[in-house]
Structure 1
Amino acid sequence: MNHLQRSNAGEHTPHGPPVILRHDLPASFVLFLISIPMSLGIAHATGAPLMAGIISAVIGGVVVGALSGAPLQISGPGTGLVVIVASLVAQFGWAATAAITLAAGVLQIALGLTGISRLVMSLSPAVVQGMLAGIGVSIAVGQLVVVLGGTAAPTVPANVALLPGELAQFQPGPVAAGAVAIAVLLLWPRVPRASLVPAPLVAVAAATALVHVLHLDVARVDLPDSHALVFPEMPRGSAGTVVTAVVTVALVASMESLLSAVATDRLHDGPRARLDKELVAQGTGNVLAGALGGFPISGGLARSSTNVASGAKTRYAAVFQGVWIAVAVLAFAPALELIPLSALAGVLFVVGLKLVSISRMRNLLQHRELLVYAATATGVVLFGLLEGVVAGLAVALLRALYRLTHCSVSVEGNRVCVRGSLVFLGVGRLVRELRRLPLGQTVVLELHIDYLDHASYEAIDDWREGYERLGGRVQVDEVHDSWFDRADQGKPGRHKTLPGPLPRWFAPWSHWQGTQDAVTLPAQRSSVEQSAASDPMLRGMREFERRSAPLVRPFLHELAVRGQRPQQLFITCADSRVVPNLITTSGPGDLFCVRNIGNLVPMASAGDRSVGAAVEYAVEILNVSTIVVCGHSDCGAMKALVTGSASRGSHLHSWLRNAEPSLIRFHAPTSGGCADLPVADRLAVANVAQQLDNLLGYPSVREAIAAGTLTLKGMYFDISNARVYLVDPDRNGLEPVHSPA
């Protein structure tokens, strides 16, 4: 089940008291310890009242957390809004900025109700993961400055510039507290049963205890003395300036929240975010924050990633942390002020580094998406969140444009194979290759394309007319679609082909065998090529490589990685006219097949090792749910049984002795089914029924049937009519396979 399919399942995730007490409650304490200094720091960096950050942290936890469409996302003062809010405070003052925040919240609610937030799901995973890495680096660099005893700047370049000075003015107190917190975070998971207590909580407690015992000189959490609220006032200025400010705050806060929600989804396996609902919740929070003089709210990846890392499972972690912040600021301010800032910085430093995932980089490198990842991460680090996302999107769009307009052209003799999308940007290369072909030959233009524009059609058609005018012949062979043929009939396709289910069987023998003489290979041919010209199997192998392999490669790659997991053991005859995957519409990895003369399952007491081993392997190792025995019409083995034509002493005669119980069953008085069939075909049906009985002689089969994990089915294939029937073993009769209504 993919992320989108699981999105609606979130509301049904168990969230009873055991889950809340074991996971959400401890996580909320960790969030509470981290949110207070972050909220105060963000407010201080913009010139806003310190209490504005606390107000937004409480509202972001209690209100937005309760309404959120992303249960594990933590909202509070928006880190991506620091520069914007700072300019608004300088231009309008804080009371007017609160009014702008309120109006931005109303706009966010309106946007959420329109469903526009779903566009965020179109983002490339490389962009989202690059954003995660960029924010992680930004967090780590900024918090490293705090660990060294300094005050973090708002940008990464500024923080990097501060590092040499902080190192030169080495402060043992902050460094010791931060180092202890970092060490505990890294080592705590190795402690037995350590998951019962969150590592960040232990890290902060250990660092605080160290500072207290050694009386180290460190900066501690500083809560505001005044609890006065600042109520919103109408901004003074032109309407255009105010509207621009409202739209800017709304869009930046929304984008940060939605991107954070999508990124947070990649950190856990719980319910997926419902982005429309999340945007409405963020807007509601900003309306309340603006009305009470709070800082603009957005979802924060630093807090959200900490929430996930601390083991939170539901939205109650966010709600509780908002409650703890309110209670702590009102009642326990002196105790909180004992916590060293460098200890909290150490926690965030490790959280930031964990967002830079080496495994994600390897995966993106394999999929050739590392450039998008690097562009996004670099942009976030050097310029900011939105700038980084825009940079990543620009690179992703350029790469997508290249891929959508790029086609591959390969020439083998006088066969030209084109794959991809054939548009005017790539047609020049194709025409150059076509013009290099020798004149007067029969050329096959093989098109494996998913789009053909008018310019490309005209170019190919012009070359074809010219080539045939000079005595050559051109055969256009479209494999997966008919773009060229439709254009040739004056009915060109207007859109790319909608992806449908790929065929499960890919052997187009009648197609390529019928045109084998239309293509000639170069005069200097290898021995393999010379053999392929006359050997149908080698021709088939070449055509598999050319046509079928690209279709089945994804399936086979997955099967190679995950191993085979067939659900059926399919026992059938070695007759070349019986193709199991064809008559069952199955593909690679679906059927575990055993084929022999007469589709026989020798009795367990007969001492046969081959079929018995396959049955045991399928039942005991592969855990198949069904065993099918399939007979067929015009079976040579059944004819040999009826006529006794197998030479005594031959391997065939010895093998067919395993079918003697089928003969006895066939001549039994109760065997009255299929009276209208020829004798050999009636015997084939009775033979299938007998093999089902023989299977019951294998202990593993009996045990699986008794446990309800295995069923046996008989099947009969009428070759001449291409009909498949089920075998009724009680009367040795046939039942049609009815199509579902």
Structure 2
Amino acid sequence: MNNPHPNRSHAGEHTTAGPPPRVVTLLRHDLPASFVIFLISIPISLGIAVATGAPLIAGIVSAVVGGVVVGALSGAPLQVSGPATGLVVITAGLVAQYGWPATAAITLAAGLLQIALGLTGIGKLALSLSPAVVHGMLAGIGISIAAGQLVVVLGGSAASSVLANLGRLPAELGSTHIGSLVAGTVTVAAMLLWPRVPRSSLVPAPLVAVGAGTLVTVLLPLDLARVSLPGHPLDQIVLPEMPRGSVAGVVAAVVTVALVASVESLLSAVAVDKLHDGPRAKLDRELIAQGTGNAIAGALGGLPISGGIARSSTNVAAGARTRNSAVLHGIWIAVFVIALGSVLEHIPLAALAGVLLVVGVRLVSVARMRTLLRHREFVVYLATVLGVVVFGLLEGVVFGLAIALLRALVRLTHCSVRVDGDRVCVRGSLVFLGVGRLLRELRRIPSGREIVLELHVDYLDHASYEAINDWREGYERLGGRVEVDEVHDTWYDRAHQGKPGRRKTLPGPLPRWFAPWSHWQGGAVVALPAQRGESDPMLKGMHEFERRSAALVRPFLAELAAQGQRPQQLFITCADSRVVPNMITTSGPGDLFCLRNIGNLVPSYGSDDRSVGAAVEFAVESLGVTTIVVCGHSDCGAMKALVKGSATRGSHLHTWLRNAEPSLIRFHEPSAPGCADLPITDRLAVANVAQQLDNLLGYPSVREAIASGSVSLVGMYFDISQARVYLVNPDRNALEPVPAPAH
């Protein structure tokens, strides 16, 4: 007996399984990645502490809490949190105004506020960001990182803005910081070349690159800046104290820190999701995790925490698979800073900068630019990039969102205006932005005509209504006539009655009556009676009708059920499954009284057939139809059987087709050559329609109704392959185009 679960052994069997997949992932991917981001986080955390005026240990505390606490609780497993780069200026201002202990207390309170925000479910709003904005943010951050770290590789100190770093490049290029340049160059080369080494994926490139950059500076007597850690770090911890000052000022500070840290973390989480194929971020959970981290960091005298794209993108690039890499990196920071700080102080800053330089450049994706160009979203992308580079992360995202919203407004309010003779077709949303273009087209129409203004609009505001109504009244004063034909909804009519619509018309469920079952049921075929069930396409079709179409047609059917049927036409056509009378006449329930048979035949009055005659008499005498239509079609099987004589003698089909013999005689009459360009069977189908019109005249009730002018006869022909309808001229057995209706 085969084991249905090949990865599981039967009870009692001895197996020699390897380590569990989680252990393999931890050892092969997360552990090496944790060392990489640990090395990157140390200088970032210390640099932020220096920039804000906080104790150096405050940056280390936040890095540890961001890794261990936030990493363990995070809703974005591959995001790495630490001291918030987006809050450097704000935190520096708070330190200057309230002092460091009070700033730590503000951080604690901000964390509690973040937890409350996360519990409300507000974090999901970040998913509404346009992909162009997210990728633009990534590219802008990548440029910012690359510009700053290039300065460090050249031996300088990175400034807080891209423009300032670009301004420093000429001076740094003219200097002779050989040690930093060598370390940075070796690191960048290792980052680029290591992935080409066979089986290199076992060790992440950033870890190899930092090792190579450090080794070369140890072997060679190079003078350059290295990682610097505080001596006796635990002695520098400062616990929080209540801020002194106005309550409003303190509350504003708490709200500002909470909102900026939250936005930065959520933006980073959404952006990191674009960099990997693993589980997607749970943003509300991430917001609660960030709040918990800030509350603990503030209580321990740490800086405000947020998710950081620089650390997180490095984490992804280093091959991390789970949250373990973020947690471990926090543990390494605590262990090495407290116990092994001297080891880290051998690492040159230029080596760490080289890793970040490559990571930053890779965030600028040329392939993504091409995709956004194809989708016409590059303007939003470019605006976000420039905003982030010139103004900062939050300002750049807001700028990109503003451009995206403006473009969406233009697209959503776009309308097309097409003038075709005396018919003007308007499609889309009619708002004030499109009034000018609409009026330009309408004013080009010569005066004195009968115009049909066909509106396929899902919204019409007051400005558009007034513009159309004013033009209509002016046009009619000059002798013209305007008919407003509303197809999609009655926006114009309701506005004319003083009851304008308030919300955009949502597209209704699309009925599927015009498409065969095979096109929307995955090629289904009719099941055998014994197999009928959910696989039966007819039952699926009935379910589809009840689900999508019944609600649309129910008001009409309810009215017809109450008033009874009053069809306008008797529609006689073939039983061919490809001919759908309601589709080719754009009619609905109650319009057509249909009679279908093989070959759309009307046997002569007085023949043995009673079924067709009964239907004709009922339609004329009881229902009072005003038109009788006989509709033939191309590729008719009955006409083929007539031409080939293929119907089996003595069969019901053979007996029925005798009623079509007058059509054969008519077809061969030289006085009515018919449509010479059609195949023989299709020409016979046209002649057959003409003959059935003559047969109808043999019915007394029909003849009397025609004489009184209450009924007219119409011949019709449907070309299946071209989906085109023609009228049949019975005098010539010929086809004529359907004339346009009079306005």
TM-score normalised by length of structure 2: 0.67
Contact between 1:129 and 1:373, CA under 8 Å: does it hold in 2? yes
- Match of 1:216? 222
Q: Is 1:359 aligned with 2:367?
A: yes
Seen in structure 2, the aligned counterparts of structure 1 residues 472 and 361 have a Cα distance that, compared at 3 Å, is same
Deviations 1:515-548 (A, max 9, x none): xxxxxxxxxxxxxxxxxxxxxxxxxxxxxxxxxx
- The equivalent position to 1:115 in structure 2, one of 116, 121, 132, is 121
Deviations 1:693-741 (A, max 9, x none): xxxxxxxxxxxxxxxxxxxxxxxxxxxxxxxxxxxxxxxxxxxxxxxxx
Q: Distance in 1 between matches of 2:214 and 2:507?
A: 59
Q: Distance in 2 between matches of 1:332 and 1:284?
A: 28
Quote the offset at 1:493 in angstroms.
Answer: 2.5
Q: Distance in 2 between matches of 1:565 and 1:342?
A: 61
Write the letter of the residue equivalent to 1:52: A
Write the letter of the residue equivalent to 1:424: F
Q: Distance in 2 between matches of 1:210 and 1:147?
A: 15
Seen in structure 2, the aligned counterparts of structure 1 residues 33 and 580 have a Cα distance that, compared at 3 Å, is farther
- The equivalent position to 1:398 in structure 2, one of 400, 406, 421, is 406
- The equivalent position to 2:191 in structure 1, one of 185, 200, 212, is 185
- Match of 2:53? 47
How many residues end up aligned between the 2 structures? 536
Q: Is 1:141 aligned with 2:147?
A: yes
Structure 1 regions of 5+ residues with no counterpart? 1-13, 508-563, 585-597, 599-632, 648-652, 657-662, 668-676, 682-741
Contact between 1:185 and 1:200, CA under 8 Å: does it hold in 2? yes
Q: Is 1:87 aligned with 2:93?
A: yes
Write the letter of the residue equivalent to 2:426: V
Q: Tell me which structure has the larger Cα radius of gyration.
A: 2
Write the letter of the residue equivalent to 1:295: L
- Match of 1:96? 102
- The equivalent position to 1:276 in structure 2, one of 259, 284, 305, is 284
Q: Distance in 2 between matches of 1:105 and 1:582?
A: 68
- The equivalent position to 2:266 in structure 1, one of 258, 268, 273, is 258
Seen in structure 2, the aligned counterparts of structure 1 residues 95 and 579 have a Cα distance that, compared at 3 Å, is farther
Q: Distance in 1 between matches of 2:367 and 2:137?
A: 15
TM-score normalised by length of structure 1: 0.67
Seen in structure 2, the aligned counterparts of structure 1 residues 679 and 153 have a Cα distance that, compared at 3 Å, is farther
Write the letter of the residue equivalent to 2:434: G
Seen in structure 2, the aligned counterparts of structure 1 residues 139 and 565 have a Cα distance that, compared at 3 Å, is farther
Equivalent residues in 2 for 1:592-741 (5 A)?
637=637, 646=644
Write the letter of the residue equivalent to 2:406: L
**Relative to structure 2, which stretch is displaced further, 381-390 or 439-448?**
439-448
Equivalent residues in 2 for 1:486-525 (5 A)?
486-488=494-496, 491-502=499-510
- The equivalent position to 1:334 in structure 2, one of 342, 349, 356, is 342
Contact between 2:79 and 2:269, CA under 8 Å: does it hold in 1? yes
- Match of 2:593? none
| Matched residue SS, 1:568 | coil
Q: Is 1:419 aligned with 2:445?
A: no
After superposition, the CA RMSD in angstroms is: 3.3
- The equivalent position to 2:36 in structure 1, one of 30, 34, 44, is 30
Quote the offset at 1:467 in angstroms.
Answer: 3.0
Quote the offset at 1:496 in angstroms.
Answer: 1.2
Quote the offset at 1:636 in angstroms.
Answer: 5.3
Q: Distance in 1 between matches of 2:580 and 2:257?
A: 59
Quote the offset at 1:286 in angstroms.
Answer: 0.4
Seen in structure 2, the aligned counterparts of structure 1 residues 506 and 447 have a Cα distance that, compared at 3 Å, is farther
Contact between 1:285 and 1:297, CA under 8 Å: does it hold in 2? yes
- Match of 2:687? none
Seen in structure 2, the aligned counterparts of structure 1 residues 179 and 473 have a Cα distance that, compared at 3 Å, is same
Quote the offset at 1:307 in angstroms.
Answer: 1.2
Q: Is 1:309 aligned with 2:317?
A: yes
Contact between 1:15 and 1:314, CA under 8 Å: does it hold in 2? no
- Match of 2:544? none
- Match of 1:556? none
Deviations 1:111-157 (A, max 9, x none): 11122222222222222222111111110011111101111111112
**Relative to structure 2, which stretch is displaced further, 319-328 or 116-125?**
116-125
Q: Is 1:433 aligned with 2:441?
A: yes
Contact between 2:576 and 2:636, CA under 8 Å: does it hold in 1? no
Equivalent residues in 2 for 1:339-488 (5 A)?
339-488=347-496
Q: Distance in 2 between matches of 1:243 and 1:207?
A: 47
- Match of 2:555? none
- Match of 1:71? 77
Contact between 1:639 and 1:680, CA under 8 Å: does it hold in 2? no
- Match of 1:290? 298
Quote the offset at 1:469 in angstroms.
Answer: 4.7
Contact between 2:452 and 2:485, CA under 8 Å: does it hold in 1? yes
Quote the offset at 1:196 in angstroms.
Answer: 1.6
Contact between 1:137 and 1:353, CA under 8 Å: does it hold in 2? yes
Contact between 1:635 and 1:680, CA under 8 Å: does it hold in 2? no
Seen in structure 2, the aligned counterparts of structure 1 residues 638 and 577 have a Cα distance that, compared at 3 Å, is closer
Contact between 1:149 and 1:342, CA under 8 Å: does it hold in 2? yes
- The equivalent position to 1:203 in structure 2, one of 209, 215, 220, is 209
Contact between 2:155 and 2:172, CA under 8 Å: does it hold in 1? yes
- The equivalent position to 1:568 in structure 2, one of 500, 517, 523, is 523
- The equivalent position to 2:175 in structure 1, one of 152, 169, 173, is 169
Contact between 1:60 and 1:76, CA under 8 Å: does it hold in 2? yes
| Matched residue SS, 2:644 | coil
Quote the offset at 1:85 in angstroms.
Answer: 1.1
Q: Distance in 2 between matches of 1:565 and 1:115?
A: 38
Contact between 2:458 and 2:506, CA under 8 Å: does it hold in 1? no
Contact between 1:505 and 1:582, CA under 8 Å: does it hold in 2? no
Contact between 2:465 and 2:492, CA under 8 Å: does it hold in 1? yes
Q: Distance in 2 between matches of 1:69 and 1:478?
A: 50
Quote the offset at 1:348 in angstroms.
Answer: 0.3
Write the letter of the residue equivalent to 1:81: L
**Relative to structure 2, which stretch is displaced further, 74-83 or 418-427?**
418-427
Seen in structure 2, the aligned counterparts of structure 1 residues 15 and 48 have a Cα distance that, compared at 3 Å, is farther
Structure 2 regions of 5+ residues with no counterpart? 1-19, 527-573, 584-597, 599-632, 657-743
Quote the offset at 1:285 in angstroms.
Answer: 0.3
Contact between 2:83 and 2:303, CA under 8 Å: does it hold in 1? yes
Write the letter of the residue equivalent to 2:119: L
| Matched residue SS, 2:35 | helix
Quote the offset at 1:453 in angstroms.
Answer: 1.3
